[in-house]
Amino acid sequence: MQQLKHDEFRNEPFTDFSKEENARAMREALARVQSELGREYPLVIGGERVETGDILESRNPAKKTEVVGRFHKATKELASSAVEKANEAFQTWRNTLPQQRADLLFRVASLLRERKHYFSAWMIHEVAKSWPEADGDTAEAIDFLEFYAREMLRYAEGQPLTRVEGEDNRLTYIPLGVGVVIPPWNFPLAIMAGMTVASVVTGNTVVLKPSSDAPAIAYKFFELLEEAGLPPGVVNFTVGAGGEVGDVVVDHPLTRYVAFTGSKEIGLRINERAAKVHDGQIWIKRVVAEMGGKDAIVVDSDTDYDEAAAGVVASAFGFQGQKCSACSRAIIVGEAYEPVLRGIIERTAKLKVGDPEDPTTGMSAVINEKAFKTINKYVEWGQEDGGRLVAGGGSDGEQGFFIEPTVIADVKPGDRVEQQEIFGPVLACIKARDFDEALQIANGTEYGLTGAVYTNDPEKLSRAAREFHVGNLYLNRKCTGALVGVHPFGGFNMSGTDSKAGGRDYLGLFMQAKVVSEKVRPGQTKAEKRDVI
């Protein structure tokens, strides 16, 4: 196979929809997807399309009657078969050259780049992303493909070891085996693709079980992998409930690792189940989990109040607050509280809630009825606990699951809306006496994913860098919008297993290091030495 040459990694640029040619291309993509809605999709196990007749419907959360796709659900037997077929494919795929696997990712990235708006349009329909949010998701998926391909080539290079006379020593990274990939619905392309291709490029095989709220975009990406030349069985597409299909594939003795992104509760459940050794299992399963957050932006009294308010609102309400990195707590110091709160209220009032197909929409529907009810309950709890509703609070579930961007002021540390992950457009505003108390409040949850600090005081910025215990801390900017390669992403405590997606150590989580040491005979030349790996 001809070796492709690729220069240094660069992030995929976002689309400027103010340019008519770009807006027209998106409208055409939306029309194309509209014509494809409601189709039926099979399971794919070992390269074979399988239909069970037991159907799961994916629906547009902004238009509850619109069926995005109809998916055949796996049985427990088929889920187990998917692991076994992945294990069969692993025996061959593990021996492919790193360059070949990297070239596959480069081909997929090229195809995805050509069809960027098409994939974004699927997300607009399936999870109600706005145009910019969908475009950012697709760009991030391209970034993961390009970045992890280059990273695999770096890992495949000769690794530095201390030399010793009389021996030739080599360290190489080899794949783990069958991985179960369980992605979330909120980044249904980027995170799903990132975890899947991190597995594939490192030589592993995959059982992919996308969220029941976003299977269509996962299937479309699976088709892209096939088109790029991925062999049958390397990725197996399954759909079904976590308590059925998910448990089977996590528990299976041939499963070597699980890569998961989602809620703390499900992540802990997976971690617990994966820890149990089943009959026939000859390894300790590895779990890579990213489990959410309760992220805070601290606004000091010595800062630009307008800039801080803008950062809080952008972080809190982008994609309806349905990001694990979203700001759900604004902790505002002393005299800054009232003016910053006013700025937040004013900016929140300007957000347009509506149909995600409309390019002027800033916020749309939350993902499903369960989320709709839960988020509304938190709005009630915030007020029951003494908070003051100062923006939003309304909802309309008739046509879709729409909730207004909501701001609750005068929230106290320890209140339910201050402690628990809501995963929706609800912002709690808390007043702190001083910067010390602000940091204490910020660290006072079980999570540690993202955070931000706005201040003009260099000493306070230094303190925050040392003491604000989150995996991704942003100084004088919003706490969302991590870029692959620029902001390796992942958090501490109950936010997950400390992995850093889009970083230089991430692929190491999907491999294991092997050392081969060969005694060199006196007088032996390099030409006489055999290639031991």
* Mean pLDDT of the residues in the chain: 96
Q: What is the pLDDT of residue 249?
A: 98
Q: Which residue has the tokens 């080599």?
A: 170
Give the closest residue to 448 by CA, choosing from 471, 420, 466.
471
Q: CA-to-CA distance for 198 and 507, rounded, in angstroms?
A: 6
Q: What is the pLDDT of residue 528?
A: 55
Contact present, 207 and 222 (Cβ < 8 Å):
no
Q: What is the pLDDT of residue 2?
A: 41
Q: How many CB atoms lie within 10 A of CB 532?
A: 10
Three-class SS of 365-412: CCCCHHHHHHHHHHHHHHHHCCCEEEECCCEECCCCCEECCEEEECCC
Structural tokens at position 264: 């703390």
In total, the chain counts a number of residues equal to: 533
Phi-psi sector, 321: left (phi>0), alpha (psi -120 to 50), beta? left
Q: 425-464: b or e for each residue (b if 16 or more CB lie within 10 Å)?
A: bbbbbbbbeebebbbebbbbbebbbbbbbbbeeeebbebb
Q: Sign of dihedral through CA atoms 305, 308, 309, 310?
A: positive
The strand order across the sheet containing 205-208 reads: 48-50, 43-45, 235-237, 205-208, 178-182, 255-261, 286-290
Does the domain at 295-475 match CATH 3.40.309.10? Answer given as yes
Q: Name the percent of the chain lying above pLDDT 70.
A: 97
- Band (pLDDT 50/70/90 cuts) for residue 41 is very high
Q: What is the pLDDT of residues 233-291, one digit of tens each?
A: 999 999 998 888 999 999 999 999 999 999 999 999 999 999 999 999 999 999 999 99
Contact present, 237 and 211 (Cβ < 8 Å):
no
Structural tokens at position 35: 């014509």
Give the pLDDT mean for 462-484.
98
Residues noted as catalytic: 290, 324
Q: How many CB atoms lie within 10 A of CB 173?
A: 18
What residues does each domain of the chain span?
25-158+165-291+496-514, 295-475
Give the pLDDT mean for 181-208.
98
- Band (pLDDT 50/70/90 cuts) for residue 3 is very low
- DSSP symbols for 174-242: EE--EEEEE--SSSTTHHHHHHHHHHHHTT-EEEE---TT-HHHHHHHHHHHHHTTPPTTSEEE----I
List, in order, residues 6 or more apart from 383 with CB less than 8 Å away: 389, 408
Residue 304 has pLDDT above 50, yes or no: yes
Residue 429 has pLDDT above 50, yes or no: yes
Give the closest residue to 512 by CA, choosing from 163, 166, 256.
256
Beta partners for residue 341, in sequence order:
none
Least confident of 119-133, 238-252, 475-489: 238-252
Q: What is the pLDDT of residue 4?
A: 46
Question: Identity (one letter) of the amino acid at 226?
Answer: E
Residue 97 has pLDDT above 60, yes or no: yes
Q: CA-to-CA distance for 48 and 525, rounded, in angstroms?
A: 50
Residue 510 has pLDDT above 60, yes or no: yes
Residue 524: CA count within 13 A, CB half-sphere: 13
Q: What is the pLDDT of residue 525?
A: 61
Residue 117 has pLDDT above 50, yes or no: yes
Q: How many CB atoms lie within 10 A of CB 258?
A: 23
Q: How far from each other are the two terminal CA atoms of the chain, in whole angstroms?
A: 20
- Band (pLDDT 50/70/90 cuts) for residue 533 is very low
List, in order, residues 6 or more apart from 48 with CB less than 8 Å away: 232
Angle at 419 between CA 415 and CA 421, to 5 degrees: 130
Q: What is the pLDDT of residues 184-194, one digit of tens each?
A: 999 999 999 99
Give the pLDDT mean for 110-117.
98
Give the pLDDT mean for 511-518.
98
Q: Name the percent of the chain lying above pLDDT 90.
A: 95
Q: What is the pLDDT of residue 527?
A: 52
Structural tokens at position 283: 């390894």
Q: What is the pLDDT of residues 152-169, one digit of tens each?
A: 999 999 999 999 999 999
Residue 1 has pLDDT above 50, yes or no: no
Does the domain at 25-158+165-291+496-514 match CATH 3.40.50.300? Answer given as no
Give the pLDDT mean for 497-519.
97
Residue predicted with more confidence, 321 or 523: 321
Q: CA-to-CA distance for 149 and 457, rounded, in angstroms?
A: 41
Residue 303 has pLDDT above 80, yes or no: yes
Give the pLDDT mean for 79-99.
98
Give the pLDDT mean for 186-212.
98
Residue 444: CA count within 13 A, CB half-sphere: 19
Residue 530 has pLDDT above 80, yes or no: no
Beta partners for residue 408, in sequence order:
389, 428
List, in order, residues 6 or more apart from 389 with CB less than 8 Å away: 379, 382, 383, 406, 407, 408, 409
Which run of H or of E encompasses 145?
Answer: helix 131-155
Q: What is the pLDDT of residue 7?
A: 83
Q: What is the pLDDT of residue 532?
A: 42
Q: What is the pLDDT of residue 222?
A: 98
Q: What is the pLDDT of residue 529?
A: 53
Contact present, 210 and 183 (Cβ < 8 Å):
yes
List, in order, residues 6 or more apart from 320 with CB less than 8 Å away: 128, 363, 364, 365, 366, 403, 424, 425
Q: CA-to-CA distance for 470 and 46, rounded, in angstroms?
A: 40
Q: What is the pLDDT of residue 243?
A: 84
Q: CA-to-CA distance for 450 and 480, rounded, in angstroms?
A: 8
